[in-house]
Homo-oligomer: A and B are copies of this chain.
Amino acid sequence: MRLTILGCYSATPRTMTNPSAQVLEMRGHLFLIDCGEGTQVELRRNKIKFSRINHIFISHLHGDHFFGLPGLVSTFRLLGRENPLHIHGPKGIKEAITLLLKLGDSWTNYPLHFHELTSKDPETLLKLPELEVSTLPLDHRIYTNGFLFKEKPKERSLDVEAARARGIDRAYFRKLKQGLNVPDREGKEVDHREVTLDPPPTKSYAYCSDTAYMEALIPQIKGVDVLYHESTFLKSEEHLCEPTKHSSARQAASIAKAAEVNHLILGHYSTRYKSLELFQEEASEYFGQTHLAEDGKVFDF
């Protein structure tokens, strides 16, 4: 599981800071999450192949999370894309993108599918053999979802020699890998655990931006490997969190701790602060495994 941060700052793009966008690689799939202005340039800078992106997830329709999308959709066309592109985002996103394409008389020559979201309850957006993606409804000024990416368990690894020695016909190997008990040559049941090993543990990633402190999130992200939680402010500016519906680093860390996640990544920083270290210090008081998102940073988990 690899996470590439393309942008992790709030509000407007600046010369040294990009608005929200990141690429999650999971089981060979590349997912683009949010798409602030300049995302297509950051994809190039980070040498991410455009053609590998088939699903884009947009949390909400504030400009710093989706004003890069019209340009990216257009660029896919110029690059000769043929594969379908799926865009998952709040209702309205289809009207916006299609209007912009219509005004430029620039229809895509590849299939463009919009999956518009309106539900305030979690829903599954994508089911693949290897993983699932579902929404995490968040508490922001406008309708907003985070996204939960969960690998499905891989098959158990079979010790072929051991299985043969135990007298199991190869016709049963597939069932063993699926964790089922099978008969040996004499028809006696063999516990699959005798000849298989547990699959590697599954990974999961939760993207939560933008949101106010929200305890209802905790059970939904319980035990995920990696939580990206926005921390626009420090606790010294926590009075700004309620009116703007953002979180502080302290609040992000409290959520991470209560949800017993393995790693917390902070991001969506206000540019009012001189140093990101302040976010790390504050969050680490409450949750040890805290990491800082930075534009261009790659996390391998």
* A interface residue numbers (CB < 8 A to B): 11-15, 37-38, 40-41, 44-45, 60-63, 67-68, 70-71, 74-75, 78, 90, 92-93, 95-96, 99-100, 103-106, 141-142
Assuming the A-B contacts A38-B37, A70-B67, are A96 and B92 also in contact, with contact meaning beta carbons closer than 8 angstroms in the complex?
A: no
Q: Which residue of B37, B45, B95 is within 8 Å of A37 (Cβ)? A: B37
- Closest approach, in angstroms, between the C-beta of A32 and any C-beta of chain B? 16
Q: List 16 A-B contacts (CB under 8 A).
A: A12-B74, A13-B41, A14-B41, A15-B41, A37-B68, A37-B71, A60-B104, A61-B100, A67-B67, A67-B70, A67-B71, A67-B100, A93-B103, A96-B103, A104-B142, A105-B141
- Closest approach, in angstroms, between the C-beta of A6 and any C-beta of chain B? 12
Assuming the A-B contacts A12-B71, A15-B44, A67-B70, are A104 and B38 also in contact, with contact meaning beta carbons closer than 8 angstroms in the complex?
A: no
Give Cα A34 to B141, complex, Å: 31
- Closest approach, in angstroms, between the C-beta of A43 and any C-beta of chain B? 10
Tell whether, in the assembled complex, residue B11 and residue A78 are in contact, meaning their CB atoms are under 8 Å apart. yes
Give Cα A74 to B68, complex, Å: 14
Tell whether, in the assembled complex, residue A71 and residue B13 are in contact, meaning their CB atoms are under 8 Å apart. yes
- Closest approach, in angstroms, between the C-beta of A176 and any C-beta of chain B? 50
Assuming the A-B contacts A37-B71, A67-B71, A70-B67, are A61 and B104 also in contact, with contact meaning beta carbons closer than 8 angstroms in the complex?
A: yes
Q: Can you list the 9 inter-chain pairs with the closest CB atoms, starting with the nearest?
A: A61-B103, A12-B75, A37-B71, A92-B103, A63-B74, A67-B71, A62-B104, A61-B104, A105-B142
**In the complex, chain B residues whose CB is within 8 Å of the CB of A90:** 103
Tell whether, in the assembled complex, residue A44 and residue B95 are in contact, meaning their CB atoms are under 8 Å apart. no
- Closest approach, in angstroms, between the C-beta of A4 and any C-beta of chain B? 15
Tell whether, in the assembled complex, residue B63 and residue A104 are in contact, meaning their CB atoms are under 8 Å apart. yes
Tell whether, in the assembled complex, residue A106 and residue B63 are in contact, meaning their CB atoms are under 8 Å apart. yes
**In the complex, chain B residues whose CB is within 8 Å of the CB of A71:** 12-13, 37, 63, 67
Tell whether, in the assembled complex, residue A40 and residue B63 are in contact, meaning their CB atoms are under 8 Å apart. no
- Closest approach, in angstroms, between the C-beta of A61 and any C-beta of chain B? 4
- Closest approach, in angstroms, between the C-beta of A272 and any C-beta of chain B? 12
Q: Which residue of B38, B95, B142 is within 8 Å of A13 (Cβ)? A: B38
Q: Which residue of B37, B62, B78, B100 is within 8 Å of A12 (Cβ)? A: B78
Besides A15-B41, A37-B71, A62-B106, 4 other CB < 8 A contacts?
A12-B40, A14-B41, A62-B104, A96-B100
Tell whether, in the assembled complex, residue B106 and residue A95 are in contact, meaning their CB atoms are under 8 Å apart. no
Give Cα A111 to B106, complex, Å: 30
Give Cα A67 to B100, complex, Å: 9
Assuming the A-B contacts A38-B38, A142-B105, are A14 and B63 also in contact, with contact meaning beta carbons closer than 8 angstroms in the complex?
A: no
Assuming the A-B contacts A41-B15, A99-B99, A103-B96, are A70 and B63 also in contact, with contact meaning beta carbons closer than 8 angstroms in the complex?
A: yes
